[in-house]
Amino acid sequence: MIRRLLVTAPFEKWRRIKGAYLRTEKTRTLLRGSMGMLLLRPSGLIFRFAASVLLTRVLGASGYGVYAYAIVWFGFMVIPATMGLDHVVLRYVAAYKETKTWFALRGLLRFSFALGALAGAVAAIAAIIIVIVLPGSWSVTRQVMVITFLIIPIAVVTQVRQSSLRGLDHPTLALLPESIVYPGSLALFVAGTYLLSGGMVSVPAVALANVAAWLTAFLVGTYLLWRRLPVEILDARSTFDKQSWMSMVPPLIFIGGAYHIVSRGEVLVLGYLGTSRDIGLYNVASRVAELTQYMYEAMTIVGASLFSAIYASGDREELQRFTTLCAKTILWASIPALLVFYFAAPWLLRVFGPEFVEGIAVLRVLITAFFVSGLSGFVIIMLYMTGHQRDVAVVMGAMALSNVGLSFLLIPRFGIMGAAIACGTTVVLLKGILVAVLYRRVGVLSLPITIKPAQRPSPVLSTGKRTSTRKNTGD
């Protein structure tokens, strides 16, 4: 009995886990990609953590709060500018690669990059004009926002580039520039500014360093994509299935804005009801809590394109097995992070400075909420990949209103803890409802439990194939 518990049972469990990952080419790709992300993400987290510590040490809670507030608004502006193109590209690049529809793939990449760059430029100009013409004095906050909004076009094209590499089964390369190059460059530029200025670094100076870091990462990412494009694309004639691609855009724009409110709306409300110091304390706790989602992010980045390819093949049982495998991996990999971050919260926050220790309770609430929400796997992306973005839009809109309403209700009474409760409650409710929607629409349960898939009609996905017999050569 003891031998079975200590030797036989663990060996059998390991053999089942190994078999689950080596069963098909898709699961082997998931394993390779996950291992790559597990090597990349910790390194990226260390770089980002170091950059965040440097910023808080240089700027203090109030200065960092101004910088963080500008970043939140920057993220909010990027969403409509992106127009959901990143999800469109991820879905169709994976499908086109699976079906070897190279002419449609070339057309999609040309179209998405051109449209993304144009939309990003328009959004940046509009945002900067709004900040400039607003009544009031020319404050540091407004200066930082104008500088930060210069990044919008770069951020939009960056998301399209990331999705392109992910769809081509290069998830590690997709995030390498933003995980390593960006935070490393930011820390280097801020440290250089600190030394050159004799220790007096302003918030606008840090914002300029942020622009330079984004530009550096963008150039590296563009080179990586160029090196990894399939050679078949070079000889393919571009075709443009704009109707299919753009049909996803309207709900995705709404979803993007709503999700930003779901995940960061409490910061906007905190900026209205609280102080820049409150924003600084809360943002540090929130960013530290997000570190516990490393496996959730890794599985999302690696698994989304594979999920789309399996869905396009019509194999519903394989789709359920793949989804369950992803959810179980997220569960078991997140438990150690939950425990470590929960009990090490005081020491983690003290690294940023003594005043940030006030966010211990906030950090623990957010860690718990992120862990529970992560049990659903990457359910939002799964609904995108299966063409049910309108269902996501309805739920996301309701949850955005919930976060804002709870924030206005709880922040005046509980301060930054009220913001954490509002965010945590909304995120958990969002994922729970979407799990039910995915099961109802697709017949796949995105939870770490094994079930048989419900019977649903096989999916039909447009691949952009032409009926013409004309040879696809030249441009």
Averaged pLDDT for residues 12-33: 55
For the chain, give the percent of residues with pLDDT over 90: 22
Domain that holds residue 47: 23-442
At residue 297 the predicted structure's pLDDT band, cuts being 50, 70 and 90, is: confident
3-state secondary structure 311-361: HHHCCHHHHHHHHHHHHHHHHHHHHHHHHHHHHCHHHHHHCCCHHHHHHHH
Selected residue with higher pLDDT from 426 and 20: 426
Tell me how far apart the alpha carbons of residues 388 and 381 are, in angstroms, rounded to a whole number. 10
At residue 468 the predicted structure's pLDDT band, cuts being 50, 70 and 90, is: very low
User: Could you tell me if residue 451 is inside a domain?
Assistant: no
Identify the sign of the CA torsion 157, 162, 167, 168.
Answer: positive
User: Could you tell me if residue 96 is inside a domain?
Assistant: yes
DSSP letters, 35-99, are: HHHHHHHHHHHHHHHHHHHHHHHHHHHHHHHHHHHHHHHHHHHHHHHHTTHHHHHHHHHHHHHHH
User: Could you tell me if residue 361 is inside a domain?
Assistant: yes
Indicate whether 11 pLDDT > 50: no
Averaged pLDDT for residues 387-403: 88
Lowest mean pLDDT among 121-125, 222-226, 459-463: 459-463
Tell me how far apart the alpha carbons of residues 171 and 300 are, in angstroms, rounded to a whole number. 10
Indicate whether 463 pLDDT > 60: no
At residue 457 the predicted structure's pLDDT band, cuts being 50, 70 and 90, is: low
CA distances (Å), 418 to each of 273, 288, 421, in order? 12, 18, 5
Selected residue with higher pLDDT from 445 and 454: 445
**Token pair listed for 136:** 């009031």
Indicate whether 471 pLDDT > 60: no
Q: What are phi and psi of 388, to 5 degrees?
A: -110, 40
Indicate whether 473 pLDDT > 70: no
> Mind listing the pLDDT tens digit for each residue in 334-344?
888 889 888 98
Selected residue with higher pLDDT from 157 and 469: 157
User: Could you tell me if residue 14 is inside a domain?
Assistant: no
Tell me how far apart the alpha carbons of residues 44 and 66 are, in angstroms, rounded to a whole number. 24
| pLDDT at 155 (0 to 100) | 93
> Mind listing the pLDDT tens digit for each residue in 53-62?
888 888 887 8
User: Could you tell me if residue 170 is inside a domain?
Assistant: yes
> Mind listing the pLDDT tens digit for each residue in 250-289?
777 777 777 778 877 888 888 788 787 888 888 888 888 8
- By C-alpha distance, which of 96, 473, 74, 52 is closest to 283? 52
Averaged pLDDT for residues 361-376: 92
Output the pTM of the full model: 0.62
| pLDDT at 436 (0 to 100) | 93
Judge whether 214 and 182 are in contact, CB under 8 Å.
Answer: yes
Annotate 344-382 with b (16+ C-beta within 10 A) or e (fewer).
Answer: ebeebbebbbebbbbbeebbbbbbbbbbbbbbbbbbbbb
User: Could you tell me if residue 12 is inside a domain?
Assistant: no
Selected residue with higher pLDDT from 150 and 42: 150
Tell me how far apart the alpha carbons of residues 29 and 22 are, in angstroms, rounded to a whole number. 9
DSSP letters, 224-268, are: HHHHHS-GGGGGSPP---HHHHHHTHHHHHHHHHHHHHHHHHHHH
User: Could you tell me if residue 164 is inside a domain?
Assistant: yes
Total structural domains in the chain?
1
User: Who contacts 181 (Cβ-Cβ below 8 Å, separation ≥6)?
Assistant: 216, 217, 220, 221
| pLDDT at 7 (0 to 100) | 44
Q: Look at the block and give the residue holding tokens 């929960």.
A: 342
Judge whether 284 and 56 are in contact, CB under 8 Å.
Answer: yes
Mean pLDDT of the chain: 80
253-256 contacts: CB < 8 A, separation 24 or more?
Answer: 253/79, 253/80, 253/83, 253/84, 254/393, 254/396, 254/397, 255/84, 255/389, 255/392, 255/393, 255/396, 256/79, 256/80, 256/82, 256/84
User: Could you tell me if residue 470 is inside a domain?
Assistant: no
**Token pair listed for 469:** 């017999």
Judge whether 179 and 120 are in contact, CB under 8 Å.
Answer: no
What's at 61, amino acid-wise? A
At residue 34 the predicted structure's pLDDT band, cuts being 50, 70 and 90, is: low
